[in-house]
Amino acid sequence: MSKVDQAIERVRAVYGSWRRDTPLAAMRADWDRLFAPLAPPDAALEPVRIGDLDAAWLRAHGTNEDGRGGANAILYLHGGGFRLGSPRSHHRLMADLSRATGAPVLGLDYRLAPEHPFPAALDDTLVAWRWLRAQGYAASDLALAGDSAGGCLALGAILRLRDGGEDLPAAAYLLSAWTDLTASGESFDSRADADPIHDRRMIRAIAQGMLAGADPSDPAVSPLFADLSGLPPLLFQVGDRETVLSDSVDFAQRARAAGVSAEAQVWPGMIHVFQQFPDLLPEAGEAIGQGGRFLQKHFGETAA
């Protein structure tokens, strides 16, 4: 069995254990436990309250220790289809990103659907961003990062900040970003047999559970359909086996057409958020390393 297949089997083992009557709380606990063995012992999560929200700082060795202004920081939005995931499930990924950048990472435990439908998670993201600004960080010393649904939140937050005339982050790093909640991308057809987990029906069902009647084609929901001018530099990473491949590739193409510096890296043979499997996939560390260098390059720059 290949290393990629081993990663796939880990995910399938969790999905396959769920039944129609499995409580959502149990699913969330299962999802956190899936990645718990990868948590690094030398980079603990440090809980912090942001108003009514929970969050956690993650500082790898050698990063800024005070978690306040005067250095760089990253706001990280976890994936999980808006209904699963937490800083605990993304502990290792955030630690690797902290090491790759030398910056502390703030993981946000945003409110989850279906209890808290759109735009709750997006509102929470903006609360966390403004909290970081209030700690003394300049916008140009901050970056946003996120995977899957978290990538959607990161991009949605940037668009809201731009439309509100607020300062933008230095850059954004997006992993297997979900940018089109209509699931209309070409890759839902061309990668239907290659993707071991996600198909169009599943993606649309997840979107419906989060939207609570909102139109998935609304640019406020699906950032792919927004005016993309004036955004900061963007780096997308996506696996070549993903049905959401088009979500990254099409977004980067549209952003470049709008005058934005945007790159979509397509990683051969890789699956959804492959960066979460560093014990199996050497590509995971390579990708995070490239993402870290990208953010380091842009910290301190003033976004357009």
The residue annotated as part of the active site, out of 198, 242, 246, 298, is: 242
Please tell me the distance from the alpha carbon of residue 96 to that of residue 42, in angstroms, as a whole number: 11
Q: Residue type for 70, please?
A: G
Name, in order, each residue with C-beta under 8 angstroms of 5's C-beta and a sequence gap of 6 or more. Answer: none
Q: Count the neighbouring beta carbons within 10 Å of the beta carbon of residue 19.
A: 6
Contact 220, 249 (CB under 8 A): no
The residue annotated as part of the active site, out of 78, 91, 272, 298, is: 272
Please tell me the distance from the alpha carbon of residue 81 to that of residue 199, in angstroms, as a whole number: 13
The residue annotated as part of the active site, out of 98, 148, 176, 222, is: 148
Omega before 114 cis (within 30°)? yes
Strand 142-147 relative to strand 45-50, pairing: unpaired
Helix/strand/coil for 175: strand
148 is catalytic: yes
Name, in order, each residue with C-beta under 8 angstroms of 289's C-beta and a sequence gap of 6 or more. Answer: 100
Strand 73-77 relative to strand 142-147, pairing: parallel
- The CA–CA distances, whole Å, from 142 to 13, 66, 174, 210, 284 equal 37, 15, 15, 28, 23
Helix/strand/coil for 79: coil
65 is catalytic: no
86-105 in b/e form (b: 16+ CB < 10 A) is bbbbbbbbbbbbbbbbbbbb
Active site residue ranges? 148, 242, 272
